[in-house]
């Protein structure tokens, strides 16, 4: 059945989904059912639709998300460019995957479209999916390159505790800020002593302190100080392993009279961990054979992390995270080249013929 990805994309970008995805999900469900395929919404808010062939074969999942960051930016057509919130992250990739899904008629195996509602926040939708897939294509702005790896992202808070005292007699107290200074210095040696090896495509992990607060009065030795750390991980590091290692590393570095707590960010879902899909996986070969750009890492953390634990996963889609001018995704100037949306549709459609034809 004929499906126009550009027309769908224009309606999708016009539909706000930065605070509530109900209207956008309704638009998606209607588009799927107008194409003659049954759609359903599960308890986690995921939109699901499937097609099956008549012979045994792989289960291929097309995934992306319908939520966007704030604020809503209305669409504006500028020739072959569509501007507006979500145009590249990730309604452009959604239009590409949806058009390929509609166009595909598997002769073997199964094809599932699984669209999540909250990738930009807690990823409860992705965490709830249990699809038993053989491979995933995850829609994000990759400039139509086949992105086979991505760093993970962990966040936590390091809290130092001391003993308050009058600043005129600093020796009578224990400064938590001095303890924090030692702990901050120790971050620089963590990866050399305890971190994973440099990854061949993702490079080295990073560990950065991003915010700090402490003390209660300008004439008092501070009893408490805390800073937030941002970890961009590479395989095979896990969140549990990282936080346990960081706790041991900092405890060994700071004085015994300074209390220490290392607490991961509170989440209802797992952290997004790093992944790396082999370049000889069927899904990578199919996409590249259909015209996708050479395999490379993706520059941001995505829900692909959850799926890559189960099966080979590639991040793919039209659009830029950033261009020569600056940020595109999540920026006020967000846009997508409509030619890329159509080319991406052809690439995914041809790749699905290879995988399921």
- Residue 32, number of CB atoms within 10 A of its CB: 22
The whole-angstrom separation of Cα 255 and Cα 128 is 43
134 & 16 share domain? yes
Banded pLDDT at 212 (limits 50, 70, 90): very high
211 & 318 share domain? no
The whole-angstrom separation of Cα 218 and Cα 238 is 40
The answer, yes or no, to whether residue 9 has pLDDT greater than 80, is: yes
Prediction pTM value = 0.92
Q: Provide the number of structural domains found in the chain.
A: 2
What residue numbers bound the domain in which 185 lies?
A: 152-264
Q: What is the CATH number of the domain that holds 233?
A: 3.30.70.360
pLDDT in tens, 244-282: 999 999 999 999 999 999 999 999 999 999 999 999 999
With beta carbons less than 8 A apart as the criterion, state whether 131 and 115 touch.
no
106 & 171 share domain? no
Q: How many CA atoms lie within 13 A of 327 on its CB side?
A: 7
pLDDT at 2 (0 to 100): 77
Domain membership of residue 345 (yes or no) is yes
Alpha helices in the chain (DSSP H): 5-14, 22-34, 91-103, 124-128, 176-194, 239-253, 282-289, 304-308, 338-356
Average pLDDT over residues 23-45: 97
The whole-angstrom separation of Cα 41 and Cα 27 is 13
Domain membership of residue 99 (yes or no) is yes
The whole-angstrom separation of Cα 233 and Cα 330 is 22
132 & 279 share domain? yes
Average pLDDT, the chain: 97
Helix axes of 239-253 and 176-194: crossing angle, nearest 10 degrees: 120
30 & 48 share domain? yes
The answer, yes or no, to whether residue 1 has pLDDT greater than 90, is: no
pLDDT in tens, 134-165: 999 999 999 999 999 999 999 999 999 999 99
pLDDT in tens, 61-73: 999 999 999 999 9
Among candidate residues 207, 232, 264, the one where a domain is terminated:
264
Domain membership of residue 269 (yes or no) is no
174 & 136 share domain? no
């Amino acid at each position: 059945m004929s499906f126009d990805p550009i027309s769908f994309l224009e309606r999708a970008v016009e539909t706000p989904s930065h605070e509530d995805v109900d209207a956008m999900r309704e638009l998606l469900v209607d588009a799927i059912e107008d194409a003659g395929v049954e759609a359903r919404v599960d308890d986690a808010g995921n939109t699901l639709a499937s097609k099956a062939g008549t012979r045994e074969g792989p289960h291929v999942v097309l995934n992306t998300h319908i939520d966007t960051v704030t604020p809503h930016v209305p669409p504006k057509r500028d020739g072959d460019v569509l501007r507006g919130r979500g145009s590249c992250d990730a309604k452009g990739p959604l239009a590409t995957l949806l058009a390929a899904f509609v166009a595909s008629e598997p002769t073997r195996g199964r094809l599932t479209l699984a669209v999540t509602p909250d990738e930009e926040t807690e990823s409860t939708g992705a965490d709830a999916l249990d699809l038993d897939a053989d491979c995933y294509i995850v829609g994000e702005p990759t400039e139509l390159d086949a992105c086979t790896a991505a760093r993970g992202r962990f966040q936590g808070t390091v809290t130092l505790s001391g003993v308050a005292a009058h600043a005129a007699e600093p020796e009578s107290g224990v400064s938590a800020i001095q303890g924090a200074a030692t702990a901050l210095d120790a971050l620089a040696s963590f990866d050399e002593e305890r971190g994973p090896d440099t990854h061949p495509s993702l490079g080295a992990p990073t560990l950065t302190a991003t915010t700090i607060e402490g003390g209660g009065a300008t004439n008092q030795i501070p009893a408490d100080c805390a800073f937030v750390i941002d970890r961009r991980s590479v395989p095979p590091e896990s969140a549990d392993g990282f936080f346990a290692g960081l706790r041991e590393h900092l405890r060994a570095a700071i004085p015994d009279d300074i209390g220490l707590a290392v607490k991961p960010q509170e989440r209802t879902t797992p952290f997004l961990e790093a992944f790396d899909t082999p370049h000889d996986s069927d899904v990578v070969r199919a996409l590249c054979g259909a015209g996708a750009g050479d395999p490379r890492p993706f520059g941001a953390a995505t829900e692909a992390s959850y799926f890559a634990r189960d099966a080979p996963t590639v991040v793919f889609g039209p659009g830029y995270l950033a261009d020569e001018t600056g940020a595109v995704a999540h920026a006020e100037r967000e846009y997508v080249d409509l030619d890329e949306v159509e080319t991406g549709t052809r690439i995914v459609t041809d790749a699905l013929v290879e995988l399921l034809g």
